[in-house]
Amino acid sequence: GPAKLDAHSWQSPNHRNASNAEWLMFWASFAFLLLIDAAVFWLAGGHLSWYVACANMLFMLVCACLFSEVVGWNRGGAAAADWINGYLLEWMLSIDNLFMFTAVFKALQTPSDQKHVVLLYGVAGVIVFRIAFFFVGFTLMRSFHFMQYVLGAFLVYTGLRILVVEESDDDVSSAYWMERLPRGG
């Protein structure tokens, strides 16, 4: 018969059963790096130069590499490679957020001095919702075997819709929900 997937068949054995100390280290590092990022932004007076932004990004990359070394030391080389692959994948997927934020800023005519607040809440929202979706998705996949087919069908439908539906050049600023949003200024 067909191979049956269990709850962990898609997951590397290196990711299971992380200790409380490992989770604590991860979240403490994450909070510390957010504080560093906020401090750099604050010290720059809210306007990062290209040089400061690149230096900050390089610092974050070095921290990610150091964290992968800790993962490798605790869990082995395969887990460290998984960490780096996941980090790079998230980095690549975040590029579309740049375009989305740019479109939102343009459509809402967001003043420059308020963009950092929108970015802070936007990125925090992305993190919270992504974690929530991972937990909900994992729970659904674990609880209901057929959900992998439902979610797969949704992805196929979305892909086909993107291929078939023509892009419209409508001005989003005239949309119903856009007219009701408060605007800065």
Average pLDDT of every residue of the chain: 79
* Residue 2 included in any domain: no
Q: Quickly state the pLDDT bin for 60 (edges 50, 70, 90).
A: confident
Number of domains the chain is built from: 2
Expressed as residue numbers, the domain containing 56 is 13-93
Q: Residue 157: which pLDDT band, with cuts at 50, 70 and 90?
A: very high
Q: Of 73-77, 98-102, 136-140, 179-183, which has the strongest mean pLDDT?
A: 73-77
The pLDDT value recorded for residue 165 is 79
Could you give the CA distance from residue 19 to residue 143 in angstroms, rounded to a whole number? 24
Predicted confidence (pLDDT) at residue 11 exceeds the cutoff of 60: no
Q: Which are the contacts of 152, defined by CB distance < 8 A and separation ≥ 6?
A: none
Statement: the pTM of the whole predicted model exceeds 0.75: no
In angstroms, what CA-CA distances link 18 with 15, 28, 66, 74, 119? 7, 15, 18, 10, 31
Identify whether 140 is part of a domain. Answer: yes
Distance, CA of 32 to CA of 61 (rounded, Å): 14
Question: Which of 49, 69, 93 is the endpoint of a domain?
Answer: 93
Range 44-48 contact pairs with CB under 8 angstroms and sequence separation of 24 or more: 46/113, 46/116
If asked whether residues 74 and 114 sit together in one domain, one would say no
Asked whether residue 51 is assigned to any structural domain, the reply reads: yes
Is 62 a residue whose pLDDT tops 60? Answer: yes
From 93, 120, 135, the end of a domain falls on: 93
